[in-house]
Amino acid sequence: MYTSESIMPKRKLPQKQRNKATSAKSPLTTVEFTAAERTISVVKGKQDLLAAAVNHRIPHMQECGGNGKCTTCRVRVLDGMNNVSPRNELETHLATCRNWDHSVRLACQTKVTGPVKVERLVKTFGDVSLLQEEGFEQNGGKEQYLAILFCDMRNFTPFVESNLAYDVVHIINRLFAILGEPILMNNGLIYQYVGDEIVGLFGLESQTAEESCMAAARAALGMRSALQQLNDELMSEFGIEIEIGVGIHFGPVIVGKMGHPSHRQFSIIGDAANVTSRIQAANKAMRTQILASEALLDELPEEIISVGRFKRIPLKGKIHPVRILEVIGFNRPDDIFLIQQSMPFLFAEDSVFAAEFYRRLFEKAPEARQLFKGNMDRQVALLSHVLKGTVYALCRPQNLIMGLQELGKRHIDYGVKKKHFVIVKAVLLETLASSIGKGYDEQTHQAWDRVLDIAFQQMQVPMDKAAKH
């Protein structure tokens, strides 16, 4: 998630230290990163692949900060397999559990002794969600409580019949793209697409029941918001609006790899999935957009969700009907949800927000400009990467904390002091307000203010430790 480059001013090493570093004359070799289309020089046997990317400002997923606590930094060695260090105990265990072939390596655990060519395997923040499938063995399954989300497009058949085939595919792909993001941002897995339906799962990792159900609720409400923005575009382009129905439920399912021995796929089986589908279907008769089971709402803090209509629906094979309730929104501000709603404004165009941030930073602190001697376009892209990764990791707090602290550790080397965080926070909030516009209300401001405080506090932990020594 994080990269080498600071969003704050950095300074060069003192001349004495630079001379000492260059006089070492360590033997060098090369690493080619295919996605970045860059070949860099690294010290033989000293630097791991992740550190090499970080030091050369190449964006590289590393949600835990390169501590071997996640697998997001994984790469495939395309050439030079004999020039990388053998797997250590940690990496061997992960490779066995996840059935990796010999060419897949953790960048943070792999050092190079000669020329290599590598490909990043986790290239987007959405890819991180897909990694949840790997933890399940090829044979057998297990029972697990999950929050399940079904989202269905209304009046799909008339929509298909009244539009050209290529337009249908174009619109459906745009719809699935904007509906999928709330699932991914809330640490969910896009389980499958069935025609015009998308299914999301929450809780495959070690979340509590409350965390899983809250993630499903945020995703459902996020889908509603995203659809409103898409419909504005579709009305002007095609003269149409899309309607959806969403159902969310919490219950036990059997989870595992199923199918023919030569083609087993991750699957879920169980009553909870069927119940969620029925809940979603009830939206049409109840004229609602989001419905949740009482079982899911019972796992959430009391009165955090605003509810409307309710109904009891009979289900085949069940003695008692299931109580379902309309989800209207949050009764009190939810910081994670509010920040997630900022994403379309911040990243609609790559790097625009980050470029505006640096413009404002240099305007407010002109002396900072001379400290950025490198490629500013690359710097802007890296800041976008960091900000987007932070938002996606809000629902994975353990990884987020490790990543932020590792980022803070690097800022020590850049010469960053605590006082720098004050101006950076002010400029970030100012840029957010400008970029989001009318949607940047007081609740959104307070959410960003609190989250930036927490993020910067974690980044300063290594600075506090260094100060004690």
pLDDT for 373 equals 66
Tokens of 82: 């004999």
CATH of the domain at 91: 3.10.20.30
Asked if residue 433 is part of any domain, the answer here is yes
Mean pLDDT confidence for 340-351: 80
pLDDT digits (tens, 9 = 90+) for 161-171: 888 888 889 99
Does a structural domain hold residue 5? Answer: no
pLDDT above 70 for 37: yes
Burial 5-37 (b: 16+ CB within 10 A, else e): bbbbbbeeeeeeeeeeeeeeeeeebbbbbeebe
CATH of the domain at 155: 3.30.70.1230
Query: Residue 384 maps to which CATH number?
Result: 1.10.490.10
Among 280, 313, 332, give the residue marking a domain's end: 332
SS in 3 state form for 149-215?
A: EEEEECCHHHHHHCCCHHHHHHHHHHHHHHHHHHHHHCCCEEEEEECCEEEEEECCCCCCHHHHHHH
pLDDT at 5 > cutoff 60:
no
Q: Say how many domains are in the chain.
A: 3
Judgement on whether residues 391 and 415 belong to the same structural domain of the protein = yes
DSSP 321: P
Choice between 288 and 137, residue whose per-residue pLDDT is larger: 288
Pinpoint the alpha helices (H) of 73-155: 89-97, 125-130
- What is the value of pTM for the model shown? 0.83
Number of residues assigned to the chain: 469
Residue 176's pLDDT is what? 92
Cα gap 401→344, rounded to integer Å: 24
pLDDT bracket for residue 42 (50, 70, 90): confident
Does one domain contain both 249 and 142? Answer: yes
Question: Which residues constitute the domain of residue 358?
Answer: 338-460
Same domain, 301 and 208: yes
Residue 369 pLDDT exceeds 80 = no
Is 140 in the same domain as 218?
A: yes
Pinpoint the alpha helices (H) of 287-342. 294-297, 335-340
- Work out the pLDDT band at 195, boundaries 50, 70, 90: confident
Please compute the mean of the pLDDT values over residues 401-425 and round it to a whole number.
85
pLDDT at position 77, please?
93
